[in-house]
Amino acid sequence: MKTLLRIASVIDSITDRLSGLISIIVVLAVVAGFLNAALRYLGQALQRTLISNELIQLQWYLFSLLFLIGFPYLLKHNVNVRVDFFYSRWGPRQRALVDFLGTLLFLIPFCLLAIYVSIGPVLTSWGRLPDGSWGPWEVSSDAGGLPLAPLKSLIIVGFFGLLVQAISQLIKYAAVLLGYHEADQAVMVAETDQTMAEEMVREMREELEHEAVARQ
């Protein structure tokens, strides 16, 4: 189990590093949205067409990229929307059991199914023909539109990332059920409390020494 927890820790660290990329994508999406709105109103004022389909489609490209890459991060930090009447009142092991079964029976099979059914359309978007040969990429039907093949490929990337993070979560849920994770947390809390206590004692000693020097 300790080896599996190390693997889960590596997956978690990779997922957390995505937060920097997600932040950049958010900024780019906001900038693209601002330019779309600004150019549209400026074009109306000048009675000219300043906005382009490339910029419009770039905005939903970035939004799609944000959500697909953000799947693992949301799952890891448990910030996905929950609608329940009992879960919030249960203890750690009851929650872990529900999450373990839900991840094993629903989330992981769903990710595998999503990846499987997406492979064919993605290859077709990249230009794979029924006879096995390759043609041109799929491009938006709008004038000046962007290629759709890279965007559709992100579906597989997103669900693969979600699958890997789901495996990490499954390991951690199993650790809680077996008592490993709670033991590790207890050690960490005990070490933190001990460090804080030692720090408080050290500060009190320094204050008493300063007061003794001042009185002299």
pTM of the model: 0.74
Question: Are 157 and 192 in a shared domain?
Answer: no
Domain that residue 7 falls in = 2-178
Question: Are 120 and 202 in a shared domain?
Answer: no
Cα dihedral 185, 74, 99, 104 sign:
negative
Taking only the tens of pLDDT, the chain with its 216 residues reads 778 888 888 888 888 888 788 888 889 988 888 888 888 888 888 877 777 778 888 888 888 888 888 889 888 888 777 777 777 787 878 888 888 999 999 999 999 999 999 999 999 989 888 888 888 888 887 777 788 888 889 899 999 999 999 999 998 888 888 877 554 453 343 344 445 545 655 665 666 566 666 655
pLDDT of 215: 59
Question: Are 18 and 109 in a shared domain?
Answer: yes
Total domains, the chain: 2
pLDDT of 211: 61
Mean pLDDT of the chain, nearest integer: 80
Question: Are 155 and 211 in a shared domain?
Answer: no
Question: Are 119 and 202 in a shared domain?
Answer: no
